[in-house]
Homo-oligomer: A and B are copies of this chain.
Amino acid sequence: MRPRAPLVIVSALLLAAAPRAQDPGAQVRSYVEAHQEEIVRELVNLLSIPNVASDHANILRNAEHLKGMLAKRGFSADLLETTGNPLVYGDLRVPGATRTLLFYAHYDGQAVNPPAWNQPDPFKPVVREGRLYARSAADDKAPIEMICAALDALSANGLKPTSNIRVILDGEEEAGSPSLVPAIAKYRDKLSADMMLIFDGPIHTSNRPTIAFGARGILTGTLTVYGPKAGVHSGNYGNWIPNPALRLAHLLSSMKDDQGKVLVAGFYDGLQPLTPEEEQLVAAVPDDAERMLRAFGVASPEVAGRSLQQGFQIPTLNIRGLASAHVGPGARTIIPDRAVAEIDIRLVAETRAAAMRDKVNAHIVAQGYHLVEANPDEAARAKYSHIASMAWDPSATEAFRTSPMEPHSRELVAALTRVYGEAPVQIRTLGGTVPIAPFIDALRFPAALVPTVNFDNNQHEENENLRLTHLFDGIVTVAAVLRM
């Protein structure tokens, strides 16, 4: 990693707005217009190789094909063996470059259920009304084609990237990338860079070029409050045997107030108020709150005056499911034996999963509960008036965030601003969780997501599609990054 320059925000923001001589936008656009058919054909060929992560034979066909695509662009390309599917790796040294960028994309895709698609075979791509329909058209083979085409466009115009470029293509992302983090130890040298750029995911719903500097993590768990061993008659024992559903309601209410504030001690520890510059970035995200609320049928957000993006900067405590005995036709007049709440906590960079688990556990204990690991035994039942279990899923995903104000971040923003004539949407923290986060976390260098595909791409569903205009714009975006 090269030493970082001191942060001078005002000049960086000015810089972002000023087009530079090396703006490759016009030349790349001309190239793409002249080569649309060739670009789409190369992507169609790639999409024609089935890529479900468990389909080992086809995964290897993809990997070999991708190695060839990279080699064609001058990469020193190779397959890196892992404990699972191979990583496709390419290294492109640029004479005089002082910066190395690591590009990440993935070549595996979600499973398919062909009868649900409007085409016979999700691996026989179809173009319809300006969209290319196929599994992985958007998620995540399009960005691979964008990288290749952007290099072709630069080359055709006698331009080179301004950074050394390393490409790592994951073959297990949709299966949770189990081999990615373990591969770091083996290939640390190949993976080292000044910044990683993740080419995955859809652009902002405003349809404007987008960069995301972080994403929330996630931690899930199951909270159970125990009542009588089995449901008891609500008449014969009502007002005497305690009701676990009411107790769960009180416990959940004690965790988060009805004004949207989590009351678990230390839940927001470590969070700093945003700097004025960060607040400005967050406020500038063009979310159409009114349209979203109308679409969801909600009159007002959880906290008056807090925007969607402001909410993303802090962790959540969300009840994603509730159950106790039965509702509807199966309801019976009983005091239930237990009440269950499924919880998810969206983490931010300052709040790590292990600490959050401990804080929630401590909160439950502080409410007078004896915490058990599984169903309480007779001895526990005889001893403790309030019994609960809090079973955390061990596979939490941590959050990540690279400061949007650090030099690499500003250079990236400046590069996109130059080709598009306006600053991209800059997301300080994505609300959701990206599977690549543990990899980013383990590599310990700056990272940003550069999404390129249309947000209505039916990702993970039937009829996944890529708008061709987004494919072509994405090439411009990648070229800008190559020249940042």
Contact = CB atoms under 8 A, between A and B. Distances in A.
List the 6 shortest-distance A-B pairs measured between CB atoms, nearest first.
A239-B311, A235-B432, A238-B316, A245-B319, A322-B324, A229-B297
A247 B249 CA distance: 9
Nearest to A313: B239
A361 interface: no
Contact of A216 (B235, B240, B323): B235
Nearest to A223: B327
A346 B235 contact: yes
Given A242-B302, A243-B302, 19 more contacts: A222-B328, A227-B298, A228-B298, A235-B346, A237-B308, A238-B344, A238-B431, A239-B346, A240-B306, A243-B318, A243-B319, A245-B320, A246-B256, A248-B322, A320-B335, A321-B327, A323-B327, A327-B341, A327-B342
A236, A252, A319, A376, most chain B CB atoms within 10 A: A319
Interface residues of A, number: 83
A405 to B, nearest CB: 23
A236 B431 contact: yes
Contacts of A314: 239
Nearest to A222: B327
Interface stretch (A10-18, A378-386, A446-454): A378-386
A146 interface: no
B240 A301 contact: yes
Contacts of A4: none
B241 A301 contact: yes
Contacts of A240: 301-302, 306-308, 311, 431
Given A249-B249, A321-B331, A297 B383 contact: no
Contact of A239 (B295, B302, B333, B344): B302
